[in-house]
Amino acid sequence: MRSQILIVLSILFSLAPATPTTPNNTQGISDIVSNLPQDNDGVLYLGGDGVLRSVDANGRVVTYQQLNPQQISEYNSNFPAAEQDRLSQEFQGVDGRDVTNVDQLLNPSRDLLPPLATTTASQQQPTSTSMPGGNTCGNVGCTSQRVCRENGCSSCLQVESMATGYCH
């Protein structure tokens, strides 16, 4: 009996490394956004360095994810078409995986963080221009996760040089 248990355990341990995992550099942006811890009064902010940071209302980084160029492009596709064209040019050649200094990831310079307007997020009203059958979340302007959640969405996505974001 003991030898059978040892055989079963050795088989399980030998299979463990073969379990497929999806490294963050191949995950889709929806999975990344869904799995990042988010402050209710904060936003998810993509800085010009290609790092997606979950930032609280006081501008402190809660967590981060370095994005590859494909993920950056996918993240930016959540914004209106006019913004997407500008963002495509702005982020050309940017790879967040190049940022490896933990201090820079957690304490970036002010220009890599959202405007501090998120501190008044609960006072601001969302703007919705949703069309029947369309993606209503993508049409809701936001300054915090709270605004998005009040509108049935999950996250407030913001990107460099935008004063407000859009719900996702």
| The predicted structure's pLDDT at residue 3 | 54
Domain assignment present for 61: yes
Selected residue with higher pLDDT from 66 and 79: 66
Domain assignment present for 91: yes
Apex CA 98: angle with CA 94 and CA 100, to 5°? Answer: 145
Write out 12-63 in H/E/C secondary structure: HHHHHHHCCCCCHHHCCHHHHHHHCCCCCCCEEEECCCCEEEEECCCCCEEE
| The predicted structure's pLDDT at residue 16 | 36
Domain assignment present for 68: yes
| The predicted structure's pLDDT at residue 161 | 78
pTM listed for this prediction: 0.76
Domain assignment present for 156: no
Domain assignment present for 125: no
157 strand-pairing partners: 44, 166
Give the tens place of pLDDT for each residue, 102-151. Answer: 999 999 999 999 987 544 433 344 344 333 344 578 778 899 999 999 99
Strands of the sheet with 141-142, listed across from one edge: 61-66, 51-55, 43-46, 156-159, 165-167, 141-142
25 confidence band (pLDDT: 50, 70, 90): low
Q: Which two tokens stand for residue 111?
A: 């220009």
Domain assignment present for 55: yes
Number of Cβ within a 10 Å radius of residue 145: 28
| The predicted structure's pLDDT at residue 17 | 35
Instruction: Please provide the average confidence, as pLDDT, over all residues in the chain.
Output: 80
Q: Which positions ≥6 away from 11 have C-beta within 8 Å?
A: none
Give the domain extent around 69: 29-112
12 confidence band (pLDDT: 50, 70, 90): very low
Domain assignment present for 123: no
| The predicted structure's pLDDT at residue 71 | 98
Domain assignment present for 11: no
| The predicted structure's pLDDT at residue 163 | 83
Tell me how many domains the chain contains.
Answer: 1
Residue 22 scores a pLDDT above 70? no
